[in-house]
Structure 1
Amino acid sequence: MQVTKHISSAQNPLIKKVLVLKEKSRERKKTGLFILEGLRELQIAIGAGYFIESVLFCEDIIENSNLLHTFNADQLISVSADVYKKLAYRDTTEGVIAIAKSKDHQLSSLEFNTRNPLILIAEAPEKPGNIGALLRTADAANLDAVLIANPKTDLYNPNIIRSSVGCVFSRNVKTGNTSEIISYLKKEGFQVFCAALTASKDYTTVNFTEPSAIVVGTEHSGLSNEWLQNSTQNIIIPMEGEIDSMNVSVSAAILIFEAKRQRKLNT
């Protein structure tokens, strides 16, 4: 493995660029670039067809450098342990950070590989950790798409990448506002199942075997009226304890895997 450059100063322009991309959503949007950290995340991004501009690695930390052999020498940059620790987002790190080019996540680019898609929609999720957890659930269930309505943070926020363990790269993720997504669902003939407390049926009693969208809102405010007014059927997970809600990613997982169970029985 040939390396043409080594950086040992945190004042290096490239190091400053990485720090800005890591910390500033505005810079990620302006440049179309983002930062990812970790060998597994890098491998998933490569497998999903992401363009990797540069790979920064620390020889004192990295344990398995086999993946680096797939890059050209001018893409690889060795950094000192001190510089790497300044860049690293995670406490437990693998010695690799990459600068990558973002993809198009507009609703207009949404395509399916099946005639009977099952998708998850999350309206205005605020916590990157919840978004990451939703994407991991979508990956586990092999959903056909995840749509983020009225996004509050960009998909390449380091917390989303970390909490999704790279699933943000491998899943079919699109964004749009609520009105756009509802129009799309109506045009494409989706059943819309909104997780809500009012006018709801037990989630086990509805039919998820046709093209279906499961829609979840925030734990604090739930779904907007626009979703509830355009719902095919509101659904609820019966609660037997003192509280009336669960973490959004847990609720979504329960609903998604009930839909998967029904579809498996229907095949």
Structure 2
Amino acid sequence: MKLITSPQNPLIKQLVQLQEKAKARRQSGTFLIEGQREVMLAKKGGYILETVLFLPEMLSENEVRHLAGRNAGLIEINKEVYQKLAYRDTTEGIIAIARSKSLELADLQLRENPLILVAEAPEKPGNIGALLRTADAANLDAVIIANPRSDMYNPNIVRSSVGCLFTNNIATGSTDEVIAFLKDCNISIYCATLQDSTPYHTRDYTTPTALVVGTEATGLSDTWRETSTKNIIIPMHGEIDSMNVSVAAAILIFEAKRQRGF
């Protein structure tokens, strides 16, 4: 088995670029996954794990094979190399090189009566991760990011989603592309916005539904508000008129799940 002990190794330098540069991830079609649970969920979600680097003092070869499968190449590394690559403070001893998936709307597979979350231009990877965790908890049919400002394989998204990047059905596209896709699929569009809205719990989400949320700073663009089936609002009883986007999305999602009986 190959062993790498120098942070100056050419492969390690390439992997540092994958961690730090979206361009490197796009050009190579690969990204890094750190952590045992994340690697396991990526494999379960159908991601191809090309190579797995691991600390032998923390994980045996058999344990790594169990997590990553038989087809991944294995490389032993030492602590110095691991610390060069690790993105988290906690150490789990495993980092995988995975192949990116297509996130095109055309590749999205939906069930007959889907419930979808759409987030327009979320700015913070942590918020995207929280949205993905909520979507996983609710077993949504898809999460669509409109006008993405960060590539979905950003290590902060991988980390903050706690592996839910790999358990959700995800697509990205421009706002116009996403709206066209939803209309072509005859999916009702419910936009969370302050303007011309009715309380969220008064709407019916038992038919094919997309729940659309925007950023905390600016909300949704006019295009969404003007083309929605209905605009909805979460009544606020305090001094402010907005809440964290992942919290707002969770309220809407679980109301829709309640109406659907599960």
Contact 1:135-1:146 within 8 A present in 2 as well: yes
Aligned residue in 2 for 1:20: 17
Aligned residue in 1 for 2:194: 197
Give me the whole-angstrom Cα distance separating, in 1, the residues matched to 2:193 and 2:71: 53
Deviation of residue 60 (structure 1)? 3.0
1:36-185 to 2 correspondences below 5 Å: 36-62=33-59, 66-69=63-66, 71-72=69-70, 75-112=73-110, 114-185=111-182
Deviation of residue 65 (structure 1)? 5.5
Give me the whole-angstrom Cα distance separating, in 2, the residues matched to 1:192 and 1:74: 41
Helix, strand or coil: the match of 2:258?
A: helix
Contact 1:60-1:81 within 8 A present in 2 as well: no
Give me the whole-angstrom Cα distance separating, in 2, the residues matched to 1:82 and 1:146: 37
Helix, strand or coil: the match of 2:248?
A: helix
Q: 1:213 aligns with which of 210, 213, 224?
A: 210
Contact 1:202-1:235 within 8 A present in 2 as well: yes
Note if 1:256 corresponds to 2:253.
Answer: yes
RMSD, matched Cα: 1.6
Deviation of residue 203 (structure 1)? 0.6
Deviation of residue 61 (structure 1)? 3.6
Aligned residue in 2 for 1:232: 229
Deviation of residue 73 (structure 1)? 8.8
Helix, strand or coil: the match of 2:165?
A: helix
Contact 2:49-2:72 within 8 A present in 1 as well: no
Query: Quick one: which amino acid aligns to residue 49 of structure 1?
Result: G
Aligned residues: 261
Contact 1:35-1:98 within 8 A present in 2 as well: yes
Do the aligned partners of residues 199 and 63 (structure 1) sit closer, same or farther apart at CA in structure 2, a change above 3 Å counting?
farther
Counting aligned pairs with the same residue, the percent is 58
Give me the whole-angstrom Cα distance separating, in 1, the residues matched to 2:46 and 2:182: 27
Query: Quick one: which amino acid aligns to residue 162 of structure 1?
Result: R
Unaligned runs of 5+ in 2: none
Give me the whole-angstrom Cα distance separating, in 2, the residues matched to 1:119 and 1:71: 31
Aligned residue in 1 for 2:2: 5
Helix, strand or coil: the match of 1:264?
A: coil
Q: 2:30 aligns with which of 14, 28, 33?
A: 33
Query: Quick one: which amino acid aligns to residue 73 of structure 2?
Result: Q
Query: Quick one: which amino acid aligns to residue 56 of structure 1?
Result: L
Give me the whole-angstrom Cα distance separating, in 2, the residues matched to 1:99 and 1:222: 36
Query: Quick one: which amino acid aligns to residue 5 of structure 2?
Result: S
Do the aligned partners of residues 81 and 141 (structure 1) sit closer, same or farther apart at CA in structure 2, a change above 3 Å counting?
same
Contact 2:144-2:171 within 8 A present in 1 as well: yes
Helix, strand or coil: the match of 1:153?
A: coil
Do the aligned partners of residues 160 and 64 (structure 1) sit closer, same or farther apart at CA in structure 2, a change above 3 Å counting?
farther
Contact 1:198-1:234 within 8 A present in 2 as well: yes
Do the aligned partners of residues 189 and 73 (structure 1) sit closer, same or farther apart at CA in structure 2, a change above 3 Å counting?
closer
Alignment deviations for residues 28-65 of structure 1 (CA, whole Å, 9 cap, x no partner): 00110000000100001111111111100012344896
Alignment deviations for residues 108-134 of structure 1 (CA, whole Å, 9 cap, x no partner): 11111x211000000011100000000
Alignment deviations for residues 207-237 of structure 1 (CA, whole Å, 9 cap, x no partner): 1111000000000000000000101111111
Give me the whole-angstrom Cα distance separating, in 1, the residues matched to 2:204 and 2:19: 43
Query: Quick one: which amino acid aligns to residue 216 of structure 1?
Result: V
Relative to the length of structure 1, the TM-score reads: 0.94
Do the aligned partners of residues 98 and 241 (structure 1) sit closer, same or farther apart at CA in structure 2, a change above 3 Å counting?
same
Helix, strand or coil: the match of 1:155?
A: coil
Unaligned runs of 5+ in 1: none
Give me the whole-angstrom Cα distance separating, in 1, the residues matched to 2:71 and 2:105: 37
Give me the whole-angstrom Cα distance separating, in 2, the residues matched to 1:182 and 1:124: 14
Alignment deviations for residues 121-164 of structure 1 (CA, whole Å, 9 cap, x no partner): 00011100000000000000000000000100101000000011
Query: Quick one: which amino acid aligns to residue 232 of structure 2?
Result: I
